[in-house]
Structure 1
Amino acid sequence: MQNAQSSWSVGLQADTSPVRRRTLRVVLLEDRLRRQSGVIQRGAD
């Protein structure tokens, strides 16, 4: 249990790093723009 807890903390730290946040925001923004323009297709990836 201790091990899982510490690895969760490390993951949380990585998620709150500025670069990670910026990347996430860009991805979400692109996703929203694509959705608005109707380009997204299910299972295209």
Structure 2
Amino acid sequence: MKQAHINFVRVGEFAWSAMEPQEGEFHFEWLRQAVRRRNGITSQL
């Protein structure tokens, strides 16, 4: 994405089923990893 001059992405907006697979059970680790690896790209959650 950086090579394509993309500097802003929206992350996770259609991923609620991955973040809360069962009611009251939350999994955010995959999202944390994605934000950590942003490599100079701004991310909006």
Normalised to the residue count of structure 1, the TM-score between the two structures is 0.33
Larger Rg: 1
Q: Which structure carries more relative contact order (alpha carbon 8 Å, separation 6+)? A: 2
Greater helix proportion: 1
Normalised to the residue count of structure 2, the TM-score between the two structures is 0.33
